Structure 1
Amino acid sequence: MAVILLALGSRGDVQPMAVLAGELTRRGQAARVVATSDFAGLAAGCGADFVSIAADSREAVAMTHARFGRQLFSHPLGQAWLLRRWLALIAEPVADACLESIGPGDVVLSGILTRGVGLALAEARGARLVTVLHTGQVPTRYAESHFAFDHFRGRATYDLRGARLSWRIASGLGAPAAYLARAKLGLPRLAAGATAGAADAFPVIVAASPLVVPPAHDWPKNVVSTGYPTPRQESFAPDAELAAFLDAGPEPVYVGFGSLGASGAHDNLAPVIEAARLSGRRIVTPAVGGAAAGSIDRRVHVIDSVPHDWLLPRMAAVIHHGGAGTTWAGLLSGRPSVAVPFGVDQPYQAHRLHGLGVGPEPIPVQRLSGTSLARLIAQATSGSYDERAAEVGRVARAEDGTEATIAALTRWGYL
């Protein structure tokens, strides 16, 4: 019996699964991650075996640069359409990689996008399916526990129906690969929207901190909150130029917008440079728009790959896109944290950070400019959020999402 972790999506979808796979491997359990080919190095860095899907997640980002791509990506429905389109284009390699990797009786930990494929393998090969989420997607009446919180109206029946509809839509986004998998396995095609109901018979893990996704009282009994699987801390030594920049003045502010930044949220450094000038604060920011690592301005230093667990505690504040992984890294740092979200679950995480009191009110990416970013920097570094951020950081660092997730699998007899 092996544990197969299906991680289709961006880095935020793959990294926590790779962390789990690496830890299971260290404990002597056969485990491997199935993800697009561009994440092979990430999995290896976590000590996880890797099965490559013959596709690249960066192709999804490239779609936002096609005709009307930016316009579509600026709206939630357009984002869903682009994601479904990408999933349709890679359906066959996804189905093939999953069918080749999963044998009879294997445990399948699946993200939401491969839930239908996992269900097909549970039916045909007796695989034991577990859906793994990193944000609040389980249907509930409680807005604070659901990523579509801003669509809730305080009417229990209406809100729950809307959350259930969102669940069915999310569970069906990977339908093209699921259709192919079922055909290859000789299974009848499921009716549209039926994946969620059938897969709900299996356990669901909300692998997000209760600080970020408060467990809801009306979650089904087979839903468990375990916390975010955090990468192991590794020794890291910065290059001489970054070390010199950090030592040359007061703590800088981190400004970065994740692996989807090239989709339009943060594809050039002009607003960052302007914000540094207007705020008078030094900034560390990831390389985008073809920029090379190094100091490009006396107040702005560009980095390539620097571990968040090393970098963020050295910052005065953290400004980011609100992805699940970066949100958690920001909380762990104990520094004020605020998001500039641009879609999917990011507005929810941004809202939760403000609700926790660790940072100012977020602004949507559509309002991002040098001026608005400078204002956000000034608010985050005002000192108003330092004490609360440090307090939440201590609580966050006491969690162990990896251990709690493995414990849940063990209780269910899956390990």
Structure 2
Amino acid sequence: MATSKGTHDEPPASPYSDLPEVVSDDILPSYDAVLRNDLLNQTTAVRDDGRVDVDLNSRLCRTLSRFIPDAKTPLPESEEAPPPQYYAELGGSAVLPSRYLVKLNIVIQVVGSRGDVQPFVALGNELQKHGHRVRIATHNVFDSFVRDAGLEFYPIGGNPSELMAYMVRNPGLIPSLKTLRGGEIQKKREMVAEMLDGCWNSCLEPDPVSGRPFVADAIIANPPSFAHVHCAQAMKIPVHLMFTMPWTSTKAFSHPLANLKFSEKAGMDPETANYVSYSVVEWLTWQGLGDVINDWRKTIDLEPVPLSEGPLLAETLKIPFTYCWSPALVGKPKDWPSYIDVCGFFFREPPNYTPPPDLADFLAQGPPPIYIGFGSIVIDDPEGMTRTLVEAVRRTGVRAIISKGWSNLGGVEEKNVLFLGDCPHEWLFSHVTAVFHHGGAGTTACGLLNGRPTTIVPFFGDQPFWGEMVAASGAGPYPIPQKQLNVQNLSEAIQFCLTPEAAHAAAGLASRMKSESGVETAVRSFHANLPLENLQCDILSGQPAVWVCKRGKRTIKLSKMAGGVLFQHLKVDPKKIYINETKTIRIIHRRWDPVTGTTSAMIGTSTDMAKATADIVRKPMLVYQQRKAAKDALVQTGRSLGTGSQHGTMPPGDASHGRGCMSTAGALASASASGVGGFFKSYGRGFYLDIPMAVTEGFRAVPELYGERVPEHEPVQDWQSGARVAGTNFVRGMSGGLTDLVVQPYKGGKEGGALGAAKGVGKGLLGMASKTASAAVGIVAYPGHGIYQSVRTLVKSGVRLRIISARRQEGDYLVQNPGNVPIDVPFILSEFGYLCQKDSEREPPISHDKV
């Protein structure tokens, strides 16, 4: 379903022709506003809702469109195959074990409001049923909310109320001038940096309350947490993304945050425009936060992500993705591969709730009321919003429960209105006739599950998207952007939600949603994408392998507990074990051709050298300012204590004063030398590593420009793999280049006659030049890169040692506190000895009944 709005005025045959097939014709709305154009087209046409205008005729969009997969080109076999049974869109019926085979430590990283956290609480509880240990890492204010649900909690910092207030003031990707002048951008960047650190610590820090060690075996995250892929790369563990709004490129509909400016001049069809919108939004996001993320990556011993790879990193790496919305609203696009799933909304078990007396009395005094609330949204003018809501309720003659929310709405006396504090939606929505809210995915899902007609007043993010999806289903009117909300349109929306047609549509959606099992399906999707073959301990089945022990040519995978027992009994030297890479993530700097590849490498090198040159002056200035601030603080302290000279300063002739001057001079010289060192480091890496590698990879990629498949080489991780890749590339390049002189004209002539043969001659000459050039330069580039990686691994070992230490600490804890499962030490020792034996010397172990 293509959904790009154009400048031409010709209406489509039907405003509902492109709706998902799951929406039947008998529940479509009769609301006049939706007849202006295709509802899904309007996903990209609403103004003042935070979406960024995307000019499809711009140079960036036209460039990005060249990388869009052609619908006529068949996908690779791995992506063309239909999704397996457990990806069934309406609940699935795959036969999987009731409890997963391997019990993992799972950290769930979530950034957002309570509505963003709550679905993951439900997910965490479901994961616990499979024997997993689950920790939710999110903002500090949700500590009790998470722990009360029986889950572990780790604080990552960040203030969700400040984030919500910022998003209301700046609903799009581009902040307002007022925000720029107020310094809020820098505050947000600092908050993101704090949350990145918090997410990393959540992977291997003990529980803040109990002190019980915890090291993550897998990561689940929502995309705005930003740290997910990078933490998984450093930890070498699987990562799975889950979200409530479209975040993966598709031709079916545009990015919810993109407002496409479509015209015939763009020369781009609507489906391609939709696909491009995801790249544009990701590029804008990376422009704002890419440097913050890369600075943080250095602290966990990871190299910066190249500019060309950062925006669509999760898609490039094919990270498994589960979308937690109902397929009854939005079906899975056909161009999403099998590792991306749409599973249904996440619902937790209904809480045991007893309403307070004022709520119980209000419900009993008249007909069921409507619900109005904006949850975690922080509104600039809560008094004005309250007056608008109350007047619309009075005008329509309904009774209403208005949630105070984070904006603390209220302060107006009205007999038919009750201002309510915190109350679980699962209980409350079963006692109202309709719901009016901001359009958070969780609140939307809860209202529809209860069969309540819904009106959405979107503020930012995915809220307009969900408003339009609800309207498309007929369960509510077209959404009212918060800046356009007034008494008149809210009154009309209330009247629409009370119609039999809206009630019938909402009831139909509720019936289908109740047949789904969103949380259970999401857990099956998570399990199905785990690398089970590399995840399980060879001794204790059901425990994840975190260590690799080598005995001759044999590799033995060990869990934390098994490793702890073997360490205690001196069967394994802790210095001779390795981290088990259950999932290796490698971010490759792709080069499309030698010109752009070499140019970007030279620009990057020049930028690094310029930055290092500035550091020669900047770093000493920072050191001087820090020393001066420290001295001023010392002087102030001396004044408050009445020490020092009459003016609170040190005597000029004091020896310590001289030593302080010498110390400052030395620190300034050291800081300046650091800048000089950085200059030569940037120069050396650029001209001896990055540029030769860019030339090699650029020439190697040339045959792809005329349709030839270029084989991938193994990752260069050390000097050995660098030498192997250089040799393979040399042989392949030289032989392939010479062969092309004959093969390409022959193939061209066979397929296209004389003209095809002429083209083949051109391809052959180009192939010979590019392949031999790549082979020649690669003899130096690949080994050089491999040596650099080997040296870097030796020097950058702090994070690796921290991971090893944390895993050993948890292993020792598990040995000392085995819980309900006693440790069979003789079995572990016997099984390890059995695995260490050569095949010819093996005898049957004591028992194969593994713990």
Q: Does TM, normalized by the shorter one, top 0.5?
A: yes
Aligned partner of 1:188 in structure 2 is: 303
Match for residue 136 of structure 1?
A: 246
Residue 397 (structure 2) pairs with residue 397 (structure 1): no
- Once the two structures are TM-superposed, the CA of residue 393 in structure 1 deviates from its matched residue by 0.7
Match of 1:109 among 212, 220, 233: 220
Displacement of 1:280 in angstroms is 0.7
Residue by residue, what CA displacement relative to the aligned partner does 1:191-246 show, whole Å, maximum 9, x if unpaired?
23523443222211112221233210011332111222112111211111111111
* 1:29 matched to 2:132: yes
Per-residue CA shift, 1:100-150, capped at 9, x if unaligned? 2215762111211233x222222222021112111122111112x752576
1:60 matched residue in structure 2: 163
For residue 179 of structure 1, the aligned residue among 294, 300, 311 is 294
- Counterpart residue number, 1:95: 196
How many angstroms does 1:372 deviate by?
2.2
- Whole-angstrom distance in 1 between the partners of 2:147 and 2:530: 27
Structure 1: distance between partners of 2:455 and 2:261 = 23
In structure 2, distance between residues paired with 1:112 and 1:291: 31
Match of 2:468 in 1: 351
Q: Take 1:198 and 1:33, find their aligned partners in 2: how far apart are those partners?
A: 24
**Per-residue CA distance 1:269-324 (angstroms, 9 max, x = gap):** 1111111111111111111554569x941111111111111111221111111111
Q: In structure 1, give the amino acid aligned to 2:251.
A: R
Aligned partners of 1:267 and 1:226: how far apart in 2? 39
Deviates more, 1:245-254 or 1:161-170: 161-170
For the pair 1:329 / 2:446, whether they are aligned, the reply is yes
Identity of paired residues, percent? 25
**Residues 146 and 153, structure 2, Cα contact 8 Å, conserved in 1:** yes
Assess, with a 3 A threshold, how the Cα gap between structure 1 residues 358 and 148 changes in structure 2: closer, same or farther.
Answer: same
Q: Displacement, 1:44?
A: 2.1
Q: Give the conservation status (yes or no) of the 8 Å contact 2:322–2:340.
A: yes
User: Is contact 2:455–2:497 with CA below 8 Å preserved after alignment?
Assistant: yes
What is the identity, as a one-letter code, of the residue corresponding to 1:166?
V
Q: Which residue of 2 aligns with 1:216?
A: 333
Partner residue of 1:251?
368
Structure 2: gaps of 5 or more residues: 1-103, 205-214, 263-268, 533-851
* 2:156 paired with 1:156: no
Task: Give me the whole-angstrom Cα distance separating, in 2, the residues matched to 1:58 and 1:267.
Answer: 20
Task: Look up the match of 2:235.
Answer: 125
Q: Distance in 2 between matches of 1:237 and 1:228?
A: 25
Letter in 2 for 1:32: R
CA spacing shift, 1:298–1:375, aligned 2, 3 Å: same
- Conservation of the 8 A alpha-carbon contact between 1:133 and 1:207: yes
Deviation of residue 179 (structure 1)? 2.5
> What's the offset of the Cα at 1:261?
4.0
Kindly tell me: are residues 123 and 231 of structure 1, through their superposed partners in 2, closer, same or farther at Cα, counting changes over 3 Å? Answer: same
CA gap of 1:36–1:86, structure 2 versus 1, over 3 A, is farther
After TM superposition, give the deviation of residue 390 of structure 1 in Å.
Answer: 0.8
| Cα distance change on mapping 1:26 and 1:232 into 2, 3 Å | same
SS of 2:304's equivalent in the other structure is: coil
Structure 1 pair 11/175, CA: closer, same or farther in 2 (3 Å)?
Answer: farther
Mapped partners of 2:507, 2:409: distance in 1: 33
Q: 1:171 to 1:402 in 2, by over 3 A?
A: farther
- CA 1:214–1:47 in 2, change beyond 3 Å: closer, same or farther? same
- Give TM-score, length-normalised by structure 2: 0.45
Q: Distance in 1 between matches of 2:384 and 2:187?
A: 21
Q: CA deviation at 1:262?
A: 2.9
Q: In the alignment, is the contact (CA less than 8 A) between 1:46 and 1:231 conserved in 2?
A: no
1:147 and 2:234 are equivalent in the alignment: no
More strand as a share of residues: 1
Q: Distance in 1 between matches of 2:116 and 2:234?
A: 26
Tell whether the 8 Å contact from 1:139 to 1:167 is kept in structure 2 after alignment: no
Aligned-partner Cα distance in 1 for 2:511–2:383 = 30
Query: Whose helix fraction is larger, Structure 1's or Structure 2's?
Result: 2
How many residue pairs get aligned? The number is 406
* Cα distance in 1 between the residues matched to 2:122 and 2:185: 27
* Secondary structure of the corresponding residue to residue 151 of structure 1: strand
Equivalence for 1:388: 505
Query: Compared with structure 1, are the counterparts of its residues 215 and 47 closer, same or farther at alpha carbon in structure 2 (3 Å cutoff)?
Result: same
Q: 1:275 to 1:387 in 2, by over 3 A?
A: same
Judge conservation of contact 2:165–2:378 (CA < 8 Å) in 1.
no
1:77 equivalent in structure 2: 174
In structure 2, relative to structure 1, the CA distance for the partners of 1:141 and 1:37 (3 Å cut) is same
| Distance in 1 between residues matched to 2:258 and 2:191, nearest whole Å | 31
Deviation at 1:174, TM superposition (A): 5.4
Structure 1 residues 109 and 172: alpha-carbon distance in aligned structure 2, compared to 1, 3 A threshold: farther
Q: Distance in 2 between matches of 1:267 and 1:303?
A: 18
Letter in 2 for 1:21: G
Distance 2:382 2:410 in 1: 19
CA contact (8 A) 1:113 1:171 kept: no
Looking at structure 2, the residues matched to 131 and 171 of structure 1 have their Cα atoms a distance apart, in angstroms, of: 18
- The answer on whether the counterparts of 1:317 and 1:337 sit within 8 Å (CA) in structure 2 is yes
Supply the distance in 1 between the matched residues of 2:531 and 2:422 (Cα, whole angstroms). Answer: 35
Q: Deviations over 1:87-111 (max 9, x none)?
A: 4121343232222221576211121
Relative distance call for 1:170 and 1:205 in structure 2 (3 A) is farther
Larger radius of gyration: 2
Deviations 1:360-381 (A, max 9, x none): 2222111112232122111111
The answer to whether the 8 A contact 1:6-1:34 is kept is yes
Q: Partner of 1:286 in structure 2?
A: 403
Which segment is superposed worse, 330-339 or 84-93? 84-93
Aligned 8 A contact 2:107 2:216 in 1: no
> Is this contact kept in 1: 2:173–2:285, CA < 8 A?
no
Give the deviation of 1:160 after TM superposition: 1.1
Structure 1 residues 405 and 157, CA gap change in structure 2 (3 angstroms): same
Q: Could you say if the C-alpha distance between residues 337 and 150 of structure 1 is closer, same or farther in structure 2, counting changes exceeding 3 Å?
A: farther
In the alignment, structure 1 segments of 5+ residues that lack a partner are: none
Q: Distance in 1 between matches of 2:126 and 2:275?
A: 36
Letter in 1 for 2:231: L
> 1:280, 1:76 → 2: CA distance?
40
- The residue number in structure 1 matching 2:314 is 199
Task: Tell which deviates more after alignment, 2-11 or 26-35.
Answer: 26-35
Give the Cα separation in 2 of the matches to 1:243 and 1:106: 46
- CA RMSD after TM alignment: 2.8
TM-score by length of 1: 0.89
